[in-house]
Amino acid sequence: MNINVTRPFLPPIEVYQRYIEGIWKRNWLTNHGPLVSELELELKHYLELDHLLYVTNGTIALQVAIKALGLSGEIITTPFSYVATTTSILWEGCTPVMVDIDPDTFNINPELIESAITERTSAILATHVYGNPCDVEAIEQIARKHGLKVIYDAAHAFGTKVNGQSVFGYGDMSTCSFHATKLFHTVEGGAIITPRPELLKAASRLRNFGHVTAESFDGIGINGKNSEFHAAMGLCNLNYVDEILARRQFLSERYDSFFANVPLQRPAIRGKVDYNHAYYAVAFPDEKTLLTVVEGLSRYSIAPRRYFYPSLNRLPYLDSQACPVSEDISKRVLALPLYHDLSIEELDLIARIVIRTMRYGL
Q: Which of 160, 168, 178 is nearest to 270 (CA)?
A: 160
Residues 292 and 190 in one domain: no
Residue 217 sits in the same domain as residue 258: no
Beta-carbon contacts of residue 111 (< 8 Å; ≥ 6 apart): none
Total domains, the chain: 2
Judge if 173 and 292 occupy the same domain: no
- What's the CA dihedral at 151, 48, 269, 9 to 10 degrees? -100
> Same structural domain for residues 36 and 148?
yes
Q: What is the pTM of this model?
A: 0.96
Mean pLDDT within 179-205: 97
Give the C-alpha separation, 37 to 68, whole Å. Answer: 21
Containing structural domain, residue 326: 241-360
Are 342 and 278 found together in one domain?
A: yes
Cite the DSSP H helix spans in 119-196: 136-146
Residue 1 has pLDDT above 80, yes or no: no
Between CA 19 and CA 28 the distance in angstroms is 12
Q: Are residues 202 and 266 in the same domain?
A: no
Mean pLDDT computed over 48-58 = 98
Using an 8 Å Cβ cutoff, are 301 and 3 in contact? yes
State the pLDDT at residue 216.
82
Q: Domain boundary at 190, 208, 238, which? A: 238
Residue 349, domain CATH: 3.90.1150.10
Instruction: Give the pLDDT confidence score for residue 247 in this predicted structure.
Output: 98
Closest CA to 336 of 237, 239, 264: 264
Tell me the average pLDDT across 96-107: 98
Residues 27 and 44 in one domain: yes
Torsion of CA 129, 132, 135, 139, to 10 degrees: 40
Residues 105-133: what's their mean pLDDT? 98
How distant, in Å, are the alpha carbons of 150, 161, 169, 308, 315 from that of 83?
19, 25, 24, 9, 9
Q: Which helix (H) or strand (E) holds 117?
A: none
> Is 6 a domain residue?
no
Percent of the chain past pLDDT 70, that is, above it, reads: 100
Give the helix/strand (H/E) hosting 309. Answer: none
Domain edge (last residue) among 238, 271, 287: 238
Looking at 238, 260, 282, the residue that finishes a domain is: 238
**One domain, residues 312 and 330:** yes
pLDDT for residue 158 is more than 80? yes
Within this chain, do residues 73 and 211 fall inside the same structural domain, yes or no? yes
**Lowest-confidence pick of 208-222, 229-243, 345-359:** 208-222
CA 309 – CA 78 distance, rounded (Å): 13
Taking residues 169-173, report their average pLDDT: 97
Considering the domain boundaries, does residue 2 fall inside one?
A: no
Give yes or no: residues 256 and 354 share one domain: yes
